[in-house]
Homo-oligomer: A and B are copies of this chain.
Amino acid sequence: MTEVVPAKPISWPVGKTSAASFSFDIDAESAILNFKPNAVDQMSTMSHQSYGPLTGVPRILDILEANQIKSTFFVPGYTARRYPRVIKNIVAAGHEIAHHGDMHEQPAHATPEEEIGFIERGIESLEKVAGVTPIGYRAPMWELSWHTPELLSKYGFLYDSSLMDADHPYELAVGNKSIVELPIQWALDDWEQYAFLPDITGVGLIESPNKVREMWQLEYEALAKAGGIFILTNHPFLSGRPSRAQSLDIFIKAVLADPKVWVAPLGEIAKHVRSLNLEPRVLTKPNLNA
């Protein structure tokens, strides 16, 4: 085995010493239907998920507008087909639309052929509904297969945002090419803090927005000090609820108060990373017998 080399700090645009991005995954019904198709018969569960596009997204768009920031929305193809006006509104507000599978499928649990289907159907729906060809991808459940990067490269994606081994963005080697990787982590996801649907997700734990913001604020401050990238992932069906959205608003304002932090959509950050001509990192799959 060749030893994997850690990601290194990168330089940020002039005057900036770290980056932050507030991203949103509009899973809506798809995240539930993907692994439990007959949940389609549970009207209340479906309504819980539709809160995201119907009520959460408009509220979040208002907050982003009030704070004058642009963001990235990861949209499964199914969500785009079911809520086209919601998606068009996001585009109209100047935010980035990125790829999040078609029915929220996890690449690591699929064959390469199936993966191609998810990617193609997702692109097709985003182009048709949003008029956008996505340059960014995030694996549903953040669960990339080892084939995904090559497929993303082949389909013209600039970046992925599903890996967890670094504080800094990097170029991920794909053969003799590369894609930009914008790393994330479970602690910066609202699902663990807020999600509960009986027999579907969560064990009942629902945290206070104050606890959650404290945790995110601590990690933001420490990541900023390290010169890294802080990527928050929120789901409108969860963080679109009034008090969580308000807490997010307070947090965004705290981040924006620091002029040295570059707040931008992931696509812009990826373009910046690409401009740095970084040497690609080679991630090797563990060999169980080595």
Contacts and interface: CB of A to CB of B under 8 A. Distances in A.
A162 interface: yes
A112 B166 CA distance: 39
Interface in A228-256: 228, 241-243, 245-247
Contacts of A187: 194, 206, 241
The oligomer's copy count stands at 4
Contacts of A17: none
Contacts of A46: 285-286
B192 A196 contact: yes
A141 B200 CA distance: 13
A218 B209 contact: yes
Given A41-B108, A44-B139, A82-B290, 7 more contacts: A6-B55, A44-B143, A44-B162, A192-B196, A202-B203, A208-B211, A210-B214
24 contacts: A4-B50, A4-B82, A5-B54, A7-B54, A42-B144, A43-B148, A43-B283, A46-B286, A48-B164, A48-B165, A50-B283, A55-B165, A78-B290, A81-B290, A186-B196, A187-B194, A192-B206, A193-B204, A202-B203, A202-B204, A208-B214, A209-B215, A210-B218, A218-B243
Q: Closest 6 A-B residue pairs measured CB to CB?
A: A222-B242, A218-B243, A47-B165, A222-B243, A208-B215, A192-B204
